[in-house]
Structure 1
């Protein structure tokens, strides 16, 4: 890509267009522009998610599959491990708060 095009993309704040414009198949001008802008939006969303996670300064990433279940874990009567791991509460738009003594992670 010429430096002129790269500079124009930079001026327009189209950060990803300069990198992806050659990868978009061209069928007609409308399809091309639509696909190019869609890719720009998708790249921005990914970058935004990564930026927000970084800004949150999470100490480290944790996943339920790595969780150490023990007999000391107590759940409400209406909830068991399998239903917790199924993440059903997300579909119901419910919150889940896990608490523990200091130092438990």
Structure 2
């Protein structure tokens, strides 16, 4: 499922080390049902202001079956281990799940 993805600077733990963490938000455009005892995977390609790229994947475990409503936003914070330089943009956002 193609989705909207946005990346923003997260609050730094230390003022001397900015851009250490980023927040990323995935917003699905369609409702979808997922199976019990499965994972929902959120994937995106990130590109920074120097054209450096990296991919990120986040896992959201689910123990019971359910439905994610359309236009639901799911956010994660991640460490900038790829040394991305703001502004960081996301593309190729995907949600993968077992129906």
Q: TM-score range by the shorter chain?
A: under 0.3
- Compute the TM-score of the two structures, normalised by the length of structure 2: 0.19
Is the helix fraction higher in 1 or 2? 1
Is the strand fraction higher in 1 or 2? 2
